[in-house]
Structure 1
Amino acid sequence: MELLTGSGLALSAGLNAYVPMLVMGLLARFTTLVTLPPSWVWLTNDWVLIVLAVLLVIEVVADKVPAVDHVNDILQTLVRPTAGGIVFAAGSGAVTPATTDPGEFFTSAAMVPFVCGAILALLTHLGKAGVRAGVNLSTAGVGAPVASTVEDISAVALTALALVLPVLVLVFVAAAVVVVIQMRRKRLRRHRLVS
């Protein structure tokens, strides 16, 4: 379960860096749903939560504007993997309803989970940026707000699943892969018809 929790949070960070960090910080601060390991308690600090909330608002707005979303994706190439590493390490080491003994999964140095999360978030980010470029090109930018909204909703849903029902992270990821494959097939068929 720890692997699924950390993976779901890291994949979510690849879509939107601030959603899983803010959700984890808020849940750890104001509920008993998440208990962060001592090295990650800083996520519950008032200033950290305020900064994350402000950055989330900026990200949500910037990601809806064609061309600005591309610049945002370039800037986020460092931010999202870093956030993915943080939430994977914090999430896989946190006590949540699905993770009651985080020590079972990672017995090595804290760098291992951070690197795992960073890699997952980077792969998700690169996939998102590639799909977004295709959406922007094929719709002349009109599809950017729609795609961005779907990504934001997906980040929130994936974060919630990772914390509460991490087994469903597999279902969510499988469904996303099927949707992307179907979209590519449709695009290839349309391209063949036009040619």
Structure 2
Amino acid sequence: MSVLPLVFTSGWASGINAYAVVLLFGVFGATGLTDEVPESLQRTDVLVVVGVLFVCEAVADKIPYVDSIWDTAHTVIRPVSGAVVAALLAGQNGSLPEIAAGAVGGSTALMSHLVKAGTRMAVNTSPEPFSNIAVSTAEDLGVAGIITFAIFHPLAAAIVAGGLLLLGIVIIVFLAAKIRNFRRRKTERRARRRVAATWPD
């Protein structure tokens, strides 16, 4: 069976939460739910480290503006992680060259990371913190759900991941236009207030 759907899905998920992807694959492999996961991801030390990093991300990702700083720091980490996981999966399966798998996983992770980072910048314009918590929780559950689904139905999961990626891009374009319009109106209001303040009585 081709590992390409699993590579694509893991890449998408890595762009959202790379630590969750490694943790889930490692646990699924260690418990015998799948033989698609290489031994290197099942090691106890790897699972402990990514488990701690997953908890850190789960907390940071729910705090306004801290989440954007965290995303900026992970602009390199998530795509690299997506590429490495994809290459390891391909090496374990043997049906796809590791370099090709790494390119697919890394580029998909980069795209989904940019969608996530852009969405978070838009969400941070909201004054209350609850939208950050809701979006972050939805992302965590989405990654867990789609990686679990991919273990048993890789092709269907890849189709879902591709749909979510396209939807995310559309949302980012829409939000970018709304934010530009909001900033333009805000600038125009300030300009009108300045003119009114300098207008003689």
**So what's the TM-score if we normalise by structure 2?**
0.77
Tell me the amino acid that sits aligned with residue 91 of structure 1. L
C-alpha separation in 2, matches of 1:83 and 1:26: 17
The superposition leaves residues 82-132 of structure 1 with CA deviations (integer Å, 9 ceiling, x where unpaired) of: 2111221233444xxxxxxx33333xxx33322321111011101110111
Matched, 1:173 2:174: no
The corresponding residue for 1:140 is: 127
When residues 187 and 124 of structure 1 are mapped into structure 2, their CA distance, relative to the original with a 3 A threshold, is closer
Cα deviation, residue 176, structure 1: 5.5
C-alpha separation in 2, matches of 1:112 and 1:176: 20
SS class of match (2:63): coil
When residues 182 and 9 of structure 1 are mapped into structure 2, their CA distance, relative to the original with a 3 A threshold, is closer
When residues 24 and 136 of structure 1 are mapped into structure 2, their CA distance, relative to the original with a 3 A threshold, is same
Q: Structure 2 residue aligned with 1:103, among 81, 91, 94?
A: 94
The corresponding residue for 2:32 is: 31
C-alpha separation in 2, matches of 1:123 and 1:182: 13
When residues 161 and 130 of structure 1 are mapped into structure 2, their CA distance, relative to the original with a 3 A threshold, is same
Cα deviation, residue 69, structure 1: 0.4
Cα deviation, residue 134, structure 1: 0.8
C-alpha separation in 1, matches of 2:163 and 2:135: 19
CA contact (8 A) 1:5 1:92 kept: no
C-alpha separation in 2, matches of 1:154 and 1:14: 12
- Report the identity percentage: 27
When residues 175 and 76 of structure 1 are mapped into structure 2, their CA distance, relative to the original with a 3 A threshold, is closer
**So what's the TM-score if we normalise by structure 1?**
0.80
Report the aligned-residue RMSD. 2.6
C-alpha separation in 2, matches of 1:71 and 1:182: 21
When residues 79 and 182 of structure 1 are mapped into structure 2, their CA distance, relative to the original with a 3 A threshold, is closer
The corresponding residue for 1:121 is: 109
Q: How does 1:32-71 map to 2 (within 5 A)?
A: 32-36=33-37, 40-71=38-69
When residues 135 and 125 of structure 1 are mapped into structure 2, their CA distance, relative to the original with a 3 A threshold, is same
Structure 1, gaps ≥5 residues long? 95-101
The corresponding residue for 1:12 is: 13
The superposition leaves residues 20-43 of structure 1 with CA deviations (integer Å, 9 ceiling, x where unpaired) of: 11111111112142343xxx4221
C-alpha separation in 2, matches of 1:60 and 1:135: 17
CA contact (8 A) 1:13 1:83 kept: yes
Tell me the amino acid that sits aligned with residue 17 of structure 2. N
Cα deviation, residue 173, structure 1: 2.9
The size of the alignment, in residue pairs, is 180
C-alpha separation in 2, matches of 1:43 and 1:186: 37
